[in-house]
A and B are shown apart, each in its own frame.
Chain A
Amino acid sequence: DGGITQSPKYLFRKEGQNVTLSCEQNLNHDAMYWYRQDPGQGLRLIYYSQIVNDFQKGDIAEGYSVSREKKESFPLTVTSAQKNPTAFYLCASSIVYPRRDTEAFFGQGTRLTVV
């Protein structure tokens, strides 16, 4: 089945360690996105990419890094510079061409806890 896969579902890390969250899609979508969600809040955009080897910062990019070496993959690294990394992380993808009004598809999320 086509879709977006985020792994792992739960992740625990010690403070000061970098951690990479995986996001893979087999929908042949051009655009991919990373969001962060804190309890009781809406989603906030971290980074997005509309094409391979190109990405843009979102509203809260500090302390995070991404790469887009393949169309199917958009991994997110939470670095030790991120001051409050414990959160629910969501990856999404969508078509860019030929129609830009189409929906985005979301993964099931990774819940990161830093202790």
Chain B
Amino acid sequence: DAKTTQPNSMESNEEEPVHLPCNHSTISGTDYIHWYRQLPSQGPEYVIHGLTSNVNNRMASLAIAEDRKSSTLILHRATLRDAAVYYCILRDVGGSGNTPLVFGKGTRLSVIA
């Protein structure tokens, strides 16, 4: 899988929007952009994923640059429960089978009350 680059940590105030950036300059045409988050002492949970168009779901929005070399996960109103490590992952679906997720170190988001 192609690699991604994320800031090590970010901080946000409660009730404010949070924009978590991810760079993936070597992304290929068959790479989907996935975001997962991991709360302390828990397994990761899926947040959102997309290919080319911006995506919205109940948890977050994903904004994908036109050249697909970067993306931004948007939490519209941060709560204390959003404090977690957020992972941006590229997943190749071009070959056969199902490519395992390859995790980097992610971005540790702190939310201040």
Residues of A within 8 A of B (CB): 30-31, 33, 35, 41-45, 48, 50, 58, 88, 90, 92, 94-96, 100-101, 103-109, 111
Given contacts A100-B98, A106-B45, A109-B43, 19 further A-B contacts (CB under 8 A): A30-B98, A31-B97, A33-B101, A35-B103, A41-B105, A42-B103, A42-B104, A42-B105, A43-B101, A58-B100, A92-B44, A92-B101, A95-B98, A100-B99, A101-B93, A103-B46, A104-B101, A105-B46, A108-B42
If A42-B103, A43-B103, A100-B93 touch, whether A31 touches B46 (CB-CB below 8 Å) is: no
Query: In the complex the two chains form, is B51's CB within 8 Å of A101's CB?
Result: yes
Residues of B within 8 A of A (CB): 32, 34, 36, 41-46, 49, 51, 87, 91, 93, 97-106
If A42-B106, A45-B100, A103-B34 touch, whether A90 touches B87 (CB-CB below 8 Å) is: no
* A35 contacts across to B, CB distance below 8 A: 103
CB contact between A101 and one of B32, B97, B103, B105 (< 8 Å): that residue: B32
- In whole angstroms, how far apart are the Cα atoms of A17 and B104 in the complex? 31
If A35-B103, A43-B103 touch, whether A50 touches B43 (CB-CB below 8 Å) is: no
| A/B interface sample: 20 pairs, CB < 8 A | A31-B98, A33-B100, A42-B105, A43-B44, A43-B103, A44-B103, A45-B100, A90-B44, A92-B43, A95-B98, A96-B98, A100-B93, A100-B98, A103-B46, A106-B43, A106-B44, A107-B43, A108-B42, A108-B43, A111-B41
